[in-house]
Amino acid sequence: MSNRDLKIRVGIDAKWYFDGPPSGHMVVKNLVDEIIRADDDRFELCLFLVSKNKARAQTHFPAHVKLIFLPGIPNLLSNLFLVPLMTWLYNIEVVLFQNFGSAWLTGALKIAYIHDVLFLDYPQYYTKTEVSYFKQMVRFAAKADQIITISNCEKERMQKHGINAPLGINVVYHGINRAFRPLHAYNENDIITLEAKYNLPENYLLYVGRVNIRKNLTGLVRALNMLKKFDLKLVIAGERGVYPELDEYIAAKQLVDYIIFTGHVPEADLHLLYARAKVFCFPSYAEGFGLPPLEAMQCGVPVVVSARTAMPEVCGTAALYANPDDEREIALEIELLLTDPVLYNEKVYQGIAQARKFSWAKAANEILTLITEAYAGRENYSEAQAQPRL
């Protein structure tokens, strides 16, 4: 038997590697990169990718990684029908799904990587179409052998709603890309170029993420309105969704000149945009993990976050916390950082230390370990079942 035959053939749902939902793309890209970089000889890797990225993928990935291309249809349908077919054709033994598993997959070990089920507790932040779509994720999670999620907060939420799997729910924290660095790591020309490109003021608060009601940007802008004496602006980096409440408040309070909407920011710019900020603000109502505050911490920028869902678990004692329903409290925590240099520097150093606890290499290694243990556990179970009873 060859070494290749001894390896576990693992199929990874990597359809979001080159594009897809911003957060999903970021997670998949970093995890896949680290899994490949680990070069673990226990596994033979197969990546499920979208056909439109075929030429790009063939020049991007190393030759030992098997690439399997699928039509660009919705993730739910692809995972339900196409991934099981390719799993059978390529004799894949373990499949790591993104969110949606499959009821039709037999033979292979099924691991569902479910990022969050926030919609179950906070349906008001989602459209009816989104809730209906995501409910299928819960339905197919029942068919998985194992579930991986991103925080203990989400694990508890799943268990509260009766979501589980024979091999349990395991928590694997997100990591932080190594490219996020403090401001002193950049040269002056790069800083000047970024300032000109986005018309950045000397001091600004920063928010990074989706621009929708769940992120509570109206609360943040209300807090900004109380901080005018500090002569700073708010930079909101992320694609704008439909958010009339935010637009109406900005217009009513004549805050247009105090806010910079950048839209989508390329990764190369985003790293420096973080590092250049005075304070990072993330007053979200609900998060399954909440990676942006950690990215800001790694850049040496103190953060103010909401004291809800996964944020205390992820940020620990390194953040300042505020009630997202109270804009005065949000403003007060920001003001504390702006007026107390000792506290400011303390939170910078605590943030850097907190960020060191999270890495994509660690996340990838934990996922590979879970795959190995699950595979071994199933093999042992199958052998035991096959033994004659005395």
CB 141 within 8 A of CB 147: yes
> What pLDDT is stored for residue 291 in this prediction?
96
Alpha carbon separation from 222 to 115, 234, 257, 337 (Å, rounded):
30, 11, 14, 18
Mean pLDDT, to the nearest integer, of 70-85? Answer: 92
Judged by average pLDDT, the poorest of 90-94, 98-102, 280-284, 338-342 is 98-102
Mean pLDDT, to the nearest integer, of 258-267? Answer: 94
CA distance linking residue 355 with residue 30, whole number of Å: 16
**pLDDT tens digits, one per residue of 210-237:** 999 999 999 999 999 999 999 899 999 9
Instruction: List, in sequence order, every residue forming a beta bridge with 259; answer none if it has no partner.
Output: 234
Q: Percent of the chain, pLDDT > 70?
A: 95
For the beta carbon of residue 104, count every other beta carbon within 10 angstroms: 15
The domains found in the chain, sorted by start residue, are 3-175+359-386 (3.40.50.2000), 183-355 (3.40.50.2000)
Query: Global pTM?
Result: 0.92
CB 355 within 8 A of CB 297: yes
What confidence tier does 20 reach under pLDDT thresholds 50, 70, 90?
Answer: confident
Residue whose pair of structure tokens reads 């089920």 in the numeric block: 117
CA distance linking residue 296 with residue 302, whole number of Å: 7
CB 272 within 8 A of CB 192: no
Mean pLDDT, to the nearest integer, of 72-86? Answer: 92
> What pLDDT is stored for residue 379 in this prediction?
58
Mean pLDDT, to the nearest integer, of 347-369? Answer: 97
Query: Residue 150 corresponds to which amino acid?
Result: I
Buried b or exposed e, range 118-131, using 16+ CB within 10 angstroms: bbbeeeebbeeeee
Is residue 336 over pLDDT 60?
Answer: yes
Mean pLDDT of the chain: 93
Q: Minimal CA–CA distance to 146: which of 101, 106, 103?
A: 101
| Phi/psi of residue 377, nearest 5 degrees | -65, -40
Is residue 6 over pLDDT 80?
Answer: no
Q: Minimal CA–CA distance to 11: which of 91, 100, 80?
A: 91
> What pLDDT is stored for residue 358 in this prediction?
98
Q: Minimal CA–CA distance to 356: which of 310, 305, 311, 318?
A: 318
> What pLDDT is stored for residue 385 in this prediction?
38
**pLDDT tens digits, one per residue of 190-216:** 999 999 999 999 999 999 999 999 999
Is residue 25 over pLDDT 60?
Answer: yes
Mean pLDDT, to the nearest integer, of 78-86? Answer: 92
**pLDDT tens digits, one per residue of 97-144:** 999 888 778 789 999 999 999 999 999 999 999 999 999 999 888 889
> What pLDDT is stored for residue 377 in this prediction?
73
